[in-house]
Chains A and B, each alone.
Chain A
Amino acid sequence: MNEKHSEATPPGRKGNLTGSARKLKDNAADWHNLILKWERLTDEGSAIANKIVNYRISETSVKEPDIVLVDEGSSEAPSERRAHQSNPELEEECVNLQNIVDKMAHILLKMEKIVSNETGVYNLEMFQFGVQGRPAPLFQTWSTQQFAEVSSKLYEAYKQELALKRTILQELAHTTNTHLSMVYLSCWLYQPYVEDNTKLTLESLLMETGHRAL
């Protein structure tokens, strides 16, 4: 059916068709690479975050006697201040983590571009073929709209992750609650908003576009 359809389309449109398909396929590859980079940054960041928490723990264990003696309100402020003044290593790790988050933000920006790009491809198709879209799918079974949907679903997951990581970055070095620090670390590493079906979605995208063998 696909064959028949492409035969029937005029040459000009055929060129456009290849264009859309190429775009979608390249985008799928970009998704794969961006997520791979993201995972690498997550691992790197996790190691840094662990160091930050360890610095904090060793600091608080040293200062424990002070905190017990002095009442809470007055002990907090100087200890916070001292943490910033006296621990250049902690500060350095925080800068490193900041860099990681910045890189992730950059990745998210690229993801956003893919989403708008695919929406564009879909809009173009609507313009060409009307609301019902092209009669035969570009690849195996997915409609062009599905590509746009899948991309925005992936984007939303990583957007939420970035927001979570930003919060962790802001709070990690300032929390004295070890349990909370641990939760931050787990959140960073286990990425609660990247669900199992997020990975499945990526795999289906790669399969649909022929990057993965059927």
Chain B
Amino acid sequence: MSQPALLLLQQELRKCFQSVQVNKEVWRSALVECSPLISSLGNLAEQLRALKSVDLASTPLCHFPDLQPRLQHKLAQAVDTVLGKLSEKIETLQGVRDSTSKQVFAVFQLYEQNADSLDLHTCVARSATSPSIADMLEWLQDAECYYRVQYIQRKNLLWTLKPDDLTLMEAAPKRWASLDSPDKEERISDALFQVSFFMESE
């Protein structure tokens, strides 16, 4: 009785790790693309700050009509463009979160439906080529949690930015970088290494 349920769950676990593997790359490349955007955002904030703190009337630029509002407008426009591009990237991150959450939820549902036929011994049993079901479920849960929290944190950071609050915008690159958690990311990679034989076995 437990054999078909076990096989089914293993099948689903394989599928899930495969999608984690794909999504991990999508996530990583989206983040890589974000970093120049975030730093140009910080740079634009600096430029806006400089423009604010310089009294153009007492500089060699005093003869240029409406220079301050014109430049301000141009910079604000550039900020808008960068934010627009960033929100596209955030959508990619959201996609990763959604797909991971969906898959992991499905695996857990399958496990719960068959929990009766999967005794403790089966769940914690592991071999040289395959980690235990319990471990794998835990790793998936960790990965799901990581993408969920990361997505919310990064999205929240961008949401709180306002064009008139330069301090926040100037601090954005640092805050963005502080959200990086390489050890958690590495744990996902580790898990994928550990299941590599399991994924190849059918």
Q: Identify the A interface with B (CB < 8 A).
A: 160, 163-164, 167, 170-171, 177-180, 182-187, 190-193, 195-196
Contacts and interface: CB of A to CB of B under 8 A. Distances in A.
9 closest A-B pairs (Cβ-Cβ)?
A182-B50, A192-B70, A190-B74, A179-B50, A192-B71, A186-B47, A171-B60, A179-B54, A179-B53
Interface string B85-109: 0000000000000000000000000
Contacts of A163: 64
Contacts of A180: 50, 54, 59
Majority secondary structure, A binding face = helix
Nearest to B60: A171
Interface string B51-93: 1011010011101100100110111011000000000000000
B70 A193 contact: yes
Contacts, number: 57
B82 to A, nearest CB: 13
Contacts of A191: 74
B45 to A, nearest CB: 11
Size band of the interface chain B makes with A:
20 to 34
Given A167-B60, A167-B61, A187 B71 contact: yes
Contacts of A164: 61, 64, 67
B54 A186 contact: no
Contacts of A190: 71, 74-75, 78
27 contacts: A160-B64, A163-B64, A164-B64, A167-B61, A178-B50, A179-B49, A179-B50, A179-B53, A180-B50, A182-B47, A182-B51, A183-B50, A183-B51, A185-B47, A186-B47, A186-B71, A187-B67, A190-B71, A190-B74, A190-B75, A190-B78, A191-B74, A192-B71, A192-B73, A192-B74, A193-B70, A196-B77
